[in-house]
Amino acid sequence: MIQIYDRQRKEIYTEEEYGKGALQFLYHTVRGRILLKLFIARPEFSRKRAAYYRSSKSVRDIEPFIKKYHVDMTGYRMGNFRSFNDFFTRKRKVTDSSKTGELVAPADSKLAVYEITDELKLKIKNSVYSVEDILQDKILAEKYQGGMCLVFRLSVDDYHRFHFIDDGRIRRYYKIPGVLHTVRSISERYHVFSANAREVTVMDTAHFGEVTEVDVGALLVGKIHNRKTVSFHKLMEKGYFEYGGSTVVLLMENGVKIDSDICEMSRRGIECKVRIGERIGGN
Backbone CA torsion sign across 278, 84, 27, 239:
negative
Residues 6+ apart with CB under 8 A from 146: 115, 116, 117, 254
Instruction: Name residue 267's amino acid.
Output: R
**Is 246 noted as a catalytic residue in this protein?**
yes
Of the residues 108, 158, 166, 215, only one is catalytic, namely 108
Distance CA 258, CA 263 (A): 7
Instruction: Enumerate residues 6+ apart whose C-beta is below 8 A from 112.
Output: 150, 151, 153, 266, 271, 272
List of residues 6+ apart from 283 with CB closer than 8 A: 101, 207, 208, 255, 256, 257
Concerning whether 108 is annotated as a catalytic residue, the answer is: yes
Query: Which of 215, 246, 259, 266 does the annotation list as catalytic?
Result: 246
The catalytic residues are 108, 246
